Structure 1
Amino acid sequence: MPSSSRPRIMSSGIPSSLNGCDMPCHPSQCAEMPARKTMETASSIVHAQFPMKPLLLTLLLSSLAAAETLQTDLLIVGGTESGWAAAIQAARMGCKSITVVHDAPWLGGQYTEQGLVCVDESKGAGKIGWGPDWHPMKRSFHRFGLFKELMDRIEMLNTKKYGSPMPGKPMHGPTTFRPAEAEAIFRQMLQPYITSGQVVLKLNHIPVAALKTDSKVTGMTFRSEKGEVLEVQAALTIDASDWGDVVQLSGTAFEVGPDPKARYGEPNAQEDVSVNPPNEMNPITWTLIVEEGKTDTPIPQPPHYDERRYWGTTQFGKKEASELKWERPIRPSNMVPWPPKRRESARQGTILSMRRIVEGTTSTDGITSALICYSNGQDYPLERLPKHVCDALEATERGAAMKNLVLMTREQRQIVFEDCKAHSLGLLHHLQTTVHDRAKDTANSLRHYHLSTEFGTPDNLPMKPYIRESLRLKALYMMRQQDSLVEDENPKSAKETFATVMYPDGVFAWQFHYDFHDTGRTYLKAEGDSGPWTHYGKPGRDIHHLSERSVFPLRSLIPMKMDGLIGAQGNVGFSSIVSSAIRLHDHRLHIGQAAAALAVLALKHQTQPRELAWSREHLEAMQHALCGGTEGVPMLLWPWRDLPADHAAFVAINRLSARGLLPVSRDEVDFQPDAPATKEWQAEVLKRCASHDFNLLSGDKLTRGEFANALWRVVETQAPPAWPRAKPDDADADGIADLDDALPFTADVQSWPAAAK
């Protein structure tokens, strides 16, 4: 590696990078966002990105002469769940010099600082899969990788403190946890690598500029809360930030907003996107963590409170909701607000118990706590913002009210965030007052609950909103919906299958439905954007389309042109529609691990990540690092339903499956590792291994898993055939450029024979 020691701290003057900064321009939808010079001095950089009062700006400028500089092998921007996983994976792979810089005080992203403490995991059309007996929502895969390690620790703490690994008995889930307790576990798992000197962690530092040479990112400059400047010079950088800070500041190409059908040809994309403005995205939500108290503690009305906004959230406002004249038809909810008396412990669909963290009547501490994250009352669409929000945005910059949230400055985003907070608090106020007063059964009323103080924030809310969609990196391959869309749109009859396209460079398994919360905002006809609003779904951007069992391609981590940079968190190569499916708790951790494995291998070979993307030899090395070659629970490379990570043949089965050396049919999603390896099955396996040189003893008494282990011991040291390279930009010479080819090394357009569909 370029450096074998921990990051080196130096004293410097004004960083040379601050003499200018490449910033992306702000077109609404753009396949290519070129950089442009907009800042010429240190003061103009800081002021343009983070407008501040003159006194604060003066204090900041006075500190530049003593700026801190670090030199590191791997810079990870963002201590999100993806950035955290990347740091641990890189350290375990032997990277000696890793620097993690985060813009907030807590690690963990959606698990912690965003307050989404009811875990969503990969799932599909099937009713069979991993999950506790009491919870009917079965998951597509057994847990794997750092996600399993994290969940095991969280559930161990839950058992010790609350008497159950899953103490909430939520409608969703099943695993829930207190955010502060989860954040402590994130810290505990990272701490050994900080103690060893491999990882340096910098919190509360905001990215302000990218260091670049030509088309290569060479580091980043940050500003602390106190105005101190930190420059980190890095051989490679991973962007695991919430809003793609490195991508934006470096001028790397990216996309935001809805994709027209002409862009990627996706079945549910719209031909005409005139009803999908550039600032439309999956909505944000400011989650609430509430806990049971000894006295009633209703919160006061938040700013801009209008009760008409909440009439449609429960059964108790049904009459009033029906009388409201919205600009378009709206279907109100009849959700029950809280569980009935003496039935508290049951799994049930109420606002309080939907994502309940701890169920108090069965918990050892006797206190109920819950995550309130109710789509019908808290989701905050990002188009057609209310007039008071637009006015505040326009006061900062002409046209700011129409900017996509990704492209806003932090000051502008905060204006939106404050209104999102008020909207969420408005729901709680409505439930604690009007709904409480109208309900006959108030034994479990939310009026008895107060906001948790564990975040340490002045308003007792999470530091950040729950972020479902950010920018999308223009990568070596942009994942499209048709690659993994279930063809049968009826969820009751849809079968479990592997994806239409099984990318040859898959680095982990995933599955989830294409999940857009309502992206549209509508107002009362008589009042327009000065009055109350509600939300609605738009065509093609809903929750009704399922994905098949798929894998995530290595190419989608790598920028199309920029070197020195790897995407992570939500800043990776997929369409807007696919981004709605690959955003769960487990997905983001897996992305971080894959990004780190790619980075460490690139550092080892002293080359750029893109040079590894087209090499089967290097893919094998990366899959080895992720599955069996590094400390920790291995990653699932092929989306088998029945393969737990602790199975003795887990690594062998995954590695052989990824190489295409095991017989697989599209609709047989169980490997059955403990079933007998019949002579016919063994013969089919050996036929697929014809290109390998080995002498394997077969046996009638072997299980499939045992046979896979024996085969892998022989095959592991033999390199698979290299991928073809017929043309510089079309490896398989099929007329589809590599950048648009889901299967760039074969002329096929899907991974299965047509008859198998």
Structure 2
Amino acid sequence: MKADILVIGGGIGGTLAALSAARQGNTVILTEETDWIGGQLTAQAVPPDEHPWIESFGCTETYRKFRNSVRDYYREHYPMKEDAKAVGHLNPGSAWVSRIAHEPLVAKHILEDMLQPYRSNGQITILFDTRTCSVDMDKDRIKSVYVRKEEKETLKLEGEFILDATECGDLLPLAGVEYRIGAESKEMTGEPHALEVYQPDDMQSFTQVFALEYRPEENHVIEKPEMYEVWKSYQADFLDHLQLSWNIPDADTGKSKKFRMFTQGEKLGLWEYRRIIDPELFQEGFFPGEISLINWPQNDYWKGAIIDVNEREKDKHLYASKQLSLSLLYWLQTEAPREDGDSGYPGLKLRPHIVGTKDGFAKHPYIRESRRIKALETVVEQDINADVSPYEGVRSRKNSVGIGAYRMDLHPTTKSHRLFYARSYPFEIPLGALIPKRVKNLIPACKNIGCTHLTNGCMRVHPVEWNIGESAGALASFALERGLNLKEIYQNEDYTSAFQQELKKLGIQLHWPEEVGVI
């Protein structure tokens, strides 16, 4: 199969890369290893993590359209109460970590609708349940990508540009693209909070997310998980509390911070953290119970990495991480201390239909950290961390291809087990972060751009990955239309400026207004 552009990976970045390229008149083959496009929003079941200005500015036009469409979808298709419909910034789950916590399936429908016109006219072809297995190279160019659907015949894909939008940067080792994983050293990046010695196996924890409904009058206790006793008694040597408890690690202090199940006044509950359905917003009785996506510190898995390890090691950690999530559920159902002095919430019920699986777990683990290309430009801590930045505000990038804002935020890592959380300035994404140092026709399209272990914590969030993917698709299109290579665009100010004008036409904001400050 041939197309102008291949997009390998159908997460947020890949979906938007395909849309962006198609809008510019190109044909695209998009592959996805699950049967849902949308990545974090859908197959990984993670409601949007966003910055404080998101309702007014600070995202691309298509991301704004997506958010508006989510709200309109509920208003138009669900039996909502009239006062709930009238809320401008409708939050279907009334969650406190996301202003627009909603069902993965709703996100899936909207993303599919965005791509549908280009699937109808043949510009976009999507290959679901498809994994990459090898790559053909011609010196510094990717000639073809071989993919396979389950155990079926291998398919050869060809395109002028290949975008890696996989969750772990899977194309990079196959194509021999120079990359890094894990935690760089101070010598490598010059970052004040980098490690003294490079630890490639020190990566952020990942999470097996699952969907629950709460029906307090019922009993839905699952069978005791095989590793429950292991996880019930587990206490990491870098924490002062058990993994299965109401305590979570506080990155600001390095100590424990106590939560509860349900919010009460100013005391926040974890249940509402990523709640996606608040029945109070809908007509009486339509939803029997509240629905929440369980992506908590208690089911962060840091016992080992699943990138650049053998299959046996990877399978071991995937199994143990799912056992951790199952153990958290069983603990919540049977042993979790309650405010009324009792223990357990047996009415918690797995909801498979919410995530499109048989067992109620997301189709894919939530991956926080990927392989990252060695790029012409690398975004480092000093560009974002307000406590060490020399720029006294947002670092303005003359060659910006988009913007983002999120606190530098590392969940416990697999080797050093450290957490990191810093006051941060919003940032602008430099063009050079999307261009590998050597390979000529590969473009990263998600959190695998030129960033570091520390700054990756800002790149992984939804609106940033969306922007990266959209700009990556536009970059491939611009290069194709002009007959240019990526380094020519980067090195020539006129070409860079012309590309930026194309981004503006697509509705991609390149610079932050002056009034933004530290988050």
TM-score (norm 1): 0.61
Q: Give yes or no for contact 1:313–1:332 (8 Å, CA) kept in 2.
A: no
Letter in 1 for 2:157: V
Q: Give yes or no for contact 2:382–2:388 (8 Å, CA) kept in 1.
A: no
Letter in 2 for 1:227: K
The counterpart of 1:542, out of the listed 420, 425, 430, is 420
**CA deviation vs aligned residue, 1:185-234 (integer Å, no higher than 9, x gap):** 21121111100111111111110011211110122000111422111011
**Structure 2 Cα separation of the partners of residues 559 and 419 of structure 1:** 35
1:218 matched residue in structure 2 = 143
Letter in 2 for 1:103: E
Structure 2 residue matching 1:71: 3-state secondary structure:
coil
2:275 matched residue in structure 1 = 356
Residue 586 to residue 317, structure 1, CA distance change in 2 (3 Å): closer
Give the drift of 1:316.
7.2
**Structure 1 Cα separation of the partners of residues 94 and 357 of structure 2:** 28
The counterpart of 2:6, out of the listed 75, 100, 103, is 75
Give the drift of 1:588.
0.5
Identity %: 24
- Structure with the bigger RCO (C-alpha within 8 Å, sep 6+) is 2
1:159 matched residue in structure 2 = 75
**CA deviation vs aligned residue, 1:36-73 (integer Å, no higher than 9, x gap):** xxxxxxxxxxxxxxxxxxxxxxxxxxxxxxxxxx1111
Structure 2 residue matching 1:103: 3-state secondary structure:
coil
Give the drift of 1:620.
2.1
**Structure 2 Cα separation of the partners of residues 621 and 317 of structure 1:** 52
1:601 matched residue in structure 2 = 478
Structure 1 residue matching 2:106: 3-state secondary structure:
helix
Q: Give yes or no for contact 1:297–1:447 (8 Å, CA) kept in 2.
A: yes
Q: Give yes or no for contact 1:81–1:107 (8 Å, CA) kept in 2.
A: yes
Letter in 1 for 2:510: L
Structure 2 residue matching 1:435: 3-state secondary structure:
coil
1:298 matched residue in structure 2 = 221
**Structure 1 Cα separation of the partners of residues 387 and 339 of structure 2:** 44
The counterpart of 1:447, out of the listed 346, 351, 371, is 346
Q: Give yes or no for contact 1:162–1:358 (8 Å, CA) kept in 2.
A: no
Letter in 2 for 1:285: T
- Where do 1:71-110 residues align within 5 Å? 71-95=2-26, 97-110=27-40
Residue 240 to residue 317, structure 1, CA distance change in 2 (3 Å): closer
1:480 matched residue in structure 2 = 380
**Structure 1 Cα separation of the partners of residues 277 and 342 of structure 2:** 19
Give the drift of 1:333.
4.5
- Where do 1:500-519 residues align within 5 Å? 501-519=395-413
**Structure 1 Cα separation of the partners of residues 72 and 341 of structure 2:** 35
**CA deviation vs aligned residue, 1:364-419 (integer Å, no higher than 9, x gap):** 334311111111x1111144xxxxxxxxxxxxxxxxxxxx5221355642331121
Residue 101 to residue 372, structure 1, CA distance change in 2 (3 Å): same
> Does 300-309 or 97-106 show the bigger shift?
300-309
Structure 2 residue matching 1:206: 3-state secondary structure:
strand
1:283 matched to 2:205? The reply is: yes
Residue 347 to residue 615, structure 1, CA distance change in 2 (3 Å): farther
**CA deviation vs aligned residue, 1:656-707 (integer Å, no higher than 9, x gap):** xxxxxxxxxxxx4269xxxxxxxxxxxxxxxxxxxxxxxxxxxxxxxxxxxx
Give the drift of 1:295.
2.1
Letter in 2 for 1:246: L
1:462 matched residue in structure 2 = 362
- Where do 1:629-644 residues align within 5 Å? 629-630=505-506, 634-640=507-513
**Structure 2 Cα separation of the partners of residues 333 and 312 of structure 1:** 12
The counterpart of 2:301, out of the listed 359, 375, 380, is 380
The counterpart of 2:393, out of the listed 472, 485, 498, is 498
Give the drift of 1:567.
0.8
TM-score (norm 2): 0.88
**Structure 2 Cα separation of the partners of residues 410 and 154 of structure 1:** 38
Letter in 1 for 2:70: I
Give the drift of 1:157.
1.5
Structure 2 residue matching 1:192: 3-state secondary structure:
helix
Structure 2 residue matching 1:238: 3-state secondary structure:
strand
Structure 1 residue matching 2:408: 3-state secondary structure:
coil
Residue 162 to residue 563, structure 1, CA distance change in 2 (3 Å): farther
**Structure 2 Cα separation of the partners of residues 452 and 295 of structure 1:** 14
Which structure: larger Rg?
A: 1
1:576 matched to 2:445? The reply is: no
- Where do 1:240-389 residues align within 5 Å? 240-272=165-197, 277-293=199-215, 295-306=218-229, 307-309=232-234, 312=242, 331-339=255-263, 349-364=268-283, 365-366=286-287, 367-375=289-297, 377-383=298-304
Letter in 1 for 2:393: F
Residue 347 to residue 99, structure 1, CA distance change in 2 (3 Å): farther
Q: Give yes or no for contact 1:158–1:177 (8 Å, CA) kept in 2.
A: no
What is the number of equivalent residue pairs in this alignment?
Answer: 492
Residue 498 to residue 429, structure 1, CA distance change in 2 (3 Å): same
**Structure 2 Cα separation of the partners of residues 256 and 269 of structure 1:** 13
Root-mean-square deviation (CA, aligned residues, Å) is 2.7
Residue 224 to residue 549, structure 1, CA distance change in 2 (3 Å): same
**CA deviation vs aligned residue, 1:277-305 (integer Å, no higher than 9, x gap):** 43111110111211234622012222211
Q: Give yes or no for contact 2:445–2:468 (8 Å, CA) kept in 1.
A: yes
Letter in 2 for 1:363: F
**Structure 2 Cα separation of the partners of residues 74 and 202 of structure 1:** 14
Structure 1 residue matching 2:204: 3-state secondary structure:
coil
**Structure 1 Cα separation of the partners of residues 54 and 137 of structure 2:** 46
Give the drift of 1:479.
1.3
**CA deviation vs aligned residue, 1:495-545 (integer Å, no higher than 9, x gap):** x9632x322210111121110012257xxxxxxxxxxxxxx952xx411x1
**Structure 1 Cα separation of the partners of residues 72 and 267 of structure 2:** 25
**Structure 2 Cα separation of the partners of residues 105 and 312 of structure 1:** 36
1:236 matched to 2:161? The reply is: yes
**Structure 2 Cα separation of the partners of residues 347 and 355 of structure 1:** 17
Structure 1 residue matching 2:112: 3-state secondary structure:
helix
**Structure 2 Cα separation of the partners of residues 571 and 156 of structure 1:** 32
Give the drift of 1:603.
0.7
Structure 2 residue matching 1:336: 3-state secondary structure:
coil
**Structure 1 Cα separation of the partners of residues 171 and 315 of structure 2:** 19
**Structure 2 Cα separation of the partners of residues 485 and 204 of structure 1:** 39
Unaligned runs of 5+ in 2: 85-89, 236-240
Structure 2 residue matching 1:607: 3-state secondary structure:
coil
Residue 547 to residue 600, structure 1, CA distance change in 2 (3 Å): same
Structure 2 residue matching 1:576: 3-state secondary structure:
coil
